[in-house]
Amino acid sequence: MLKKRLIFALLYDQGNFMLSRNFRLQKVGDLSWLEKNYNFSHIAFSIDELVVLDVSRKERDINRFSDDLKTLAKGCFVPIAAGGGVRTLEHARILLQSGADKVIINTPLFDNQQLVNKLVVEFGQQCVVASFDVKQSIREDYEIWTANGTRCVEGSLSTWLEKIAQYEVGELYLNSMDRDGTGQGYDMKILEHLPTLTPMPIILAGGAGNFHHLADGLSHKQVDAVSTAHLFNFVGNGLEISRNSLREKGFNLAQWDRTYNAEVRSA
């Protein structure tokens, strides 16, 4: 049986880390603040993957982002997925050379399939994560939004989920814009639009505020991983407590060997 995963996501904007609520951003602190409150060489034992997204509303500074990504990657032994504004192979390559193991793409999925194919060929299927930002419409259906939630994509969520299966990407990151930052739990109804046989792992995001929400997400048979980007709800030992609680409830999560990792770092 494949293990479930717990993912922690960081939202980055011009050197600062942000809280997001329904895609409205609030600055929390810079890299020094993050290092003070989140020691990733320690937190890595409580998560299975780290996601870092450049959500800058202004022109992105790729070099600054890559430098900060390198700093985050030091001592963090779990895989890192990074993205935000990736429009070229070179941009993706910079992220991978800066410590990322995977690249997350959003907008090109809908307007540049050629780039998606090139990324898969160049870096491998397992290296490319497709990201859908999903919002409930007035017709009680779901819409997909791109460009930091400013442009609505034509076509239904169900139709695009069928299409994405043909892109040969490695994973699908499903994020609820309605639940984003609310701490009210995941929008599980989004999952009803998934094809019966989904060939790629599904990561559910948007709305987690406590351990119970994480458990609800992981309980769904089509969900392989849950993600939270809420910096305050899981500050301190919040992630460690949540992971231990999930394991106690019987969820099939990896258990990292702290002793082995300490020996490797000191060797």
Q: Which residues contact 75 (CB under 8 A, 6 or more apart)?
A: 40, 41, 44, 265
141 assigned to active site: no
Report angle CA 164, 19, 156 to the nearest 5 degrees: 25
Rounded to whole angstroms, how far apart are CA atoms 129 and 152?
20
For residue 53, list its beta bridge partners: 11, 83
Among 101, 102, 163, 99, residue whose Cα is nearest residue 132: 163
DSSP strands (E only) in the chain: 5-13, 16-21, 24-30, 49-54, 80-83, 102-105, 128-136, 142-146, 151-152, 171-176, 202-205, 225-228
Among 200, 244, 239, 228, residue whose Cα is nearest residue 2: 200
Q: Which of 13, 48, 68, 133 is catalytic?
A: 133
DSSP 131-185: EEEEEE-TTSSEEEEETTTTEEPSS-HHHHHHHHTTTT-SEEEEEETTTTTT-S-
Report angle CA 25, 173, 159 to the nearest 5 degrees: 110
Report angle CA 250, 182, 176 to the nearest 5 degrees: 75
Q: Torsions phi, psi of 47, nearest 5?
A: -130, 165
Give residue 41's identity as a one-letter amino acid code. Answer: S
Catalogue the active-site residues.
133
